[in-house]
Structure 1
Amino acid sequence: MAKLLLYLTLATSLIPLFSVAFSPENPTDRRVLVLVDDFAIKSSHSLYFGSLTSRGFQLEFKLADDPNIGLQRYGQYLYDALVLFCPSVERFGGSIDVASIVDFVDSGHDLIVAADSNASDLIREVATECGVDFDEDPAAMVIDHINYAVSNFDGDHTLIASDDFIKADAPVLFQGIGHSLNPANSLVLKVLSASSSAYSANPKSKLSNPPSLTGSAISLVSVVQARNNARILITGSLSMFSNRYALDSSDLECKRLGAQLICIMLAIVPSLTKRHEKSGNEQFLTEISKWVFHERGHLKAVNVRHHKVGESDEPAIYRINDDLEYSVEIYEWSGTSWEPYVSDDVQVQFYMMSPYVLKTLSTDQKGHYSAEFKVPDVYGVFQFKVEYQRLGYTSLSLSKQIPVRPYRHNEYERFLPAAYPYYGSAFSMMAGFFIFTIVHLYSK
């Protein structure tokens, strides 16, 4: 009995700890299911997995064809994110299929898909559902005879070095298949693209027809942010996540040389090539995974308030032509805490069928946004609406309904200045009638 009481006491003391650890205030995905073709990937890609684990993610590795795997149980999802490092899988095990993965994303969860030169039709179908189309040729790879790693100088130039994204310390090594973005999907964005000298083809055969994908139209890494703020990362190279490419210290050819002759000259004069201590893969993948898993660019809005100017209480109804103030606090998740979000493009609408008022909110640089405006001279049921969408950030959609009434009969001015001519005509008519009556009665 004493031991039972001791266990109950310990469990009760741990409840606050668990409630903090799994607080909904922390937006970061913590439970991650990683599906692989072979458990050897755990060691060959350990740097990438170690980076996730060090940031607090709980990784669970399963074979993609394991008959016991599933994304949900009793209607509840078991994981916050899904990583598909299984490019050659022909059929998922358990209850997982393309439809369940789409439902997983539609429920607000995140997804990483890494294909390869041997990508199966199943992985291609998953990518297509996300707005990405891999090269139809199953043997095609991205080839670049100018921007490639020197270690691949005598090879087929499929190990390319790309830095067509953001300023980075070193180019990213990529070896795999390219893809194009579906023009009908406005939510998919290109993050890492090939250079203008790249093309997609089978490196083991001669070109008989022009390649279907060429130049910067080839996307190497793409991302999607769904309308429900779920995030997706799609790439055609599983090896770019590997330890080998993250620690590669090979010389990398200079970018955008523009002519094969200059490229040959650089091969003759190695001192003109760029030397990097290691590739930019680790930095690139770490930062982009922070975005995918909501450690970056995640916004929340709190303390949405409105009231009349000079008052503090929120009224149940406004009157036309009232002066009011609307305010909201917006914060961004930094990976460890909520920090004030500072921007000058947050707007509020006072909306009924269409916006009657559109006002840009001013900020105090501490996350507090506010604006003052006059209620329009139209009565009805209005809404305060904030629809904030900025590239790279989760979207905010705030709305609050409020009725607007006209003046009551006792709230109008007794004599309106604009009606003085009408008042004068009425009294002049009465005075004229009185004078006419006197004159008519007493005149001979």
Structure 2
Amino acid sequence: MIWECCSECPQGRHRLRGNVLVAGSSNSGDILRELASEVGFEVDEEGASVIDHLNYDVNDLGKHTLIVADSANLIDSPVITGPRNVPPLLYQGTGIVADKENPLVLQILTAESSAYSYVPDEPIKEYPHAVGKNTLLIAALQARNNARVVFSGSLYFFSDEAFTSPVQKALGGKKYDISGNQQVATSLSQWVFKEHGVLRVKSVSHSKVGEKAPPQAYTIMDNAV
């Protein structure tokens, strides 16, 4: 990943060159939040976690921060995330907010409407950073120069533990022998590093109508094929 300054960049902003996958956590520091802001995302303050009192896993330790995200909350794009008919996903980390008006931002995975992002051990004294469906768990961006970024608020999402753990909501529901994390993580990494979802031009040919070789230049009213 390379950041470069250019005359076209807004003041204090940089242009991204290359592709990057970033995974944070509830303990993410200022550097990671600054990196997120460079690509249009806002990560909640240090110590904050996504909390869901209705959709947490049976293995949660009591703070309701090991949440179960239904695969229906994935973006409907098999090229990016693979098929959506995967088991539920395990997520433990902080919340992300992105500008919905930004056409370059992709909401990869959203939380349930009952979720919010806040510091678990503190009483809620102000409106949370992210609430309900506005809480992004994983976001992505494809820049105008085609550089790709995937930003996850959960390093746990990509862990071996999450890949191999069973999933079941604590308040009832079907038990799954294994989460869908590994399938989604694999598809995401293949997309962000351009193993999937890339159009490549193998050959280009053009000429004037009735000719075989391309001319040195075209003029107005020339018909090209």
Which TM-score band applies after superposition, normalised by the shorter structure? 0.7 to 0.9
Match of 1:258 in 2: none
Q: Per-residue CA shift, 1:309-350, capped at 9, x if unaligned?
A: 33322234556655431xxxxxxxxxxxxxxxxxxxxxxxxx
Match of 2:23 in 1: 114
Counterpart AA for 2:160: N
Match of 1:132 in 2: 41
Match of 2:139 in 1: 222
Identity among equivalent positions (%) equals 39
Query: Are residues 324 and 281 of structure 1, via their aligned partners in 2, closer, same or farther at CA, if it must alter by over 3 Å?
Result: same
CA distance in 2, matches of 1:123, 1:174: 18
Question: TM (normalized to structure 1)?
Answer: 0.43
> How many pairs were matched up?
207
Secondary structure at the counterpart of residue 184 of structure 2:
helix
Q: Per-residue CA shift, 1:365-389, capped at 9, x if unaligned?
A: xxxxxxxxxxxxxxxxxxxxxxxxx
The yes-or-no answer on 1:279 pairing with 2:182 is no
Q: Is the 8 A contact 2:90 2:167 kept in 1?
A: no
Match of 2:63 among 150, 156, 169: 156
The yes-or-no answer on 1:312 pairing with 2:197 is no
Q: Is the 8 A contact 1:168 1:280 kept in 2?
A: no
Secondary structure at the counterpart of residue 28 of structure 2:
coil
**Which has the higher Rg, Structure 1 or Structure 2?**
1
Query: Are residues 203 and 317 of structure 1, via their aligned partners in 2, closer, same or farther at CA, if it must alter by over 3 Å?
Result: closer
Match of 1:168 in 2: 85
The yes-or-no answer on 1:251 pairing with 2:168 is yes
Query: Are residues 193 and 302 of structure 1, via their aligned partners in 2, closer, same or farther at CA, if it must alter by over 3 Å?
Result: same
CA distance in 1, matches of 2:106, 2:31: 22
Q: Is the 8 A contact 1:145 1:157 kept in 2?
A: yes
Match of 2:151 among 234, 256, 267: 234
Q: Is the 8 A contact 1:252 1:276 kept in 2?
A: no
Q: How does 1:267-306 map to 2 (within 5 A)?
A: 273-306=173-206
1:120, CA displacement in angstroms?
0.8
> CA-atom RMSD, angstroms?
2.4
CA distance in 1, matches of 2:217, 2:38: 46
1:142, CA displacement in angstroms?
0.5
**Larger RCO (CA within 8 A; separation ≥ 6):** 2
Q: Is the 8 A contact 2:88 2:167 kept in 1?
A: no
Query: Are residues 189 and 318 of structure 1, via their aligned partners in 2, closer, same or farther at CA, if it must alter by over 3 Å?
Result: closer
Match of 2:52 in 1: 144
1:173, CA displacement in angstroms?
0.6
Secondary structure at the counterpart of residue 245 of structure 1:
helix
Relative to its length, the structure with more helix (as a share) is 1
Q: Is the 8 A contact 2:3 2:17 kept in 1?
A: no
Query: Are residues 274 and 323 of structure 1, via their aligned partners in 2, closer, same or farther at CA, if it must alter by over 3 Å?
Result: same
Counterpart AA for 1:236: G
Question: TM (normalized to structure 2)?
Answer: 0.82
CA distance in 2, matches of 1:230, 1:320: 35
Query: Are residues 312 and 206 of structure 1, via their aligned partners in 2, closer, same or farther at CA, if it must alter by over 3 Å?
Result: same
Relative to its length, the structure with more strand (as a share) is 1
CA distance in 1, matches of 2:99, 2:219: 49
Query: Are residues 150 and 108 of structure 1, via their aligned partners in 2, closer, same or farther at CA, if it must alter by over 3 Å?
Result: same
